[in-house]
Amino acid sequence: MGFWWLKNLIGVHLPDSQLQDIKHTRAELLFHVVYRSIQASSLIGSLVVAPLVTVVKQPRSLRVLHDRCLRYAVYGIAPGAAAGVVLYGLRMRNQPEEGYFDRCYRLRCNQSQVRIDRSSIFGALVGVGWSVLTPYRPIEAAIIGMYVGLVGGAVCNHFDR
């Protein structure tokens, strides 16, 4: 990951020659896979596991569900990070350097994917700042911001077609 990756992520248009200048392909791909796995496991924790636990365990109120959703979203970060590393290792095992380059280049050129990554990272950063004004811990606010950015990026992609 480097300067061109960051410029592409924030939305600066880059010519093809700069998109192809990928210095740290393995780190860039690992970051992408781990970040996506964290998003998925955190969503599963908050939208699937927390409601199921609330149905099974007492007390059953919206406040308890809210608290469990936040808690299980945070709990989903560690398994997501571990799963991302494992998925990366399994998928990219025995790949030549060209395989890493090709995957990173395709990710950089996929504007829908870049938009979702940009909005979810920006949302997480805004969430950390937002935590100063709310009763949420920074990690909880970052997760909420990441979700808002993820949905916002997906909506923008839908209307951009």
Residue 149 pLDDT level (bands cut at 50, 70, 90): very high
Domain range summary for the chain, segments of one domain joined by +: 1-109, 111-161
pLDDT digits (tens, 9 = 90+) for 85-109: 999 999 988 889 898 889 988 988 8
Look at residue 84 in the predicted model and tell me its pLDDT. 97
Contact present, 9 and 117 (Cβ < 8 Å): yes
Look at residue 16 in the predicted model and tell me its pLDDT. 82
Burial 114-146 (b: 16+ CB within 10 A, else e): bbbbbbbbbbbebbbebbeeeebeebbbbbbbb
pLDDT digits (tens, 9 = 90+) for 51-68: 999 999 988 899 999 999
User: Which DSSP string corresponds to 63-118?
Assistant: HHHHHHHHHHHHHTHHHHHHHHHHHHHHHHTT--HHHHHHHHHHHHH-HHHHHHHH
Within a 13 Å sphere around the CA of 96, how many CA atoms are in the beta-carbon half? 2
pLDDT digits (tens, 9 = 90+) for 6-45: 777 777 787 888 778 778 888 889 999 999 999 999 999 9
Residue 1 pLDDT level (bands cut at 50, 70, 90): low
Look at residue 21 in the predicted model and tell me its pLDDT. 79
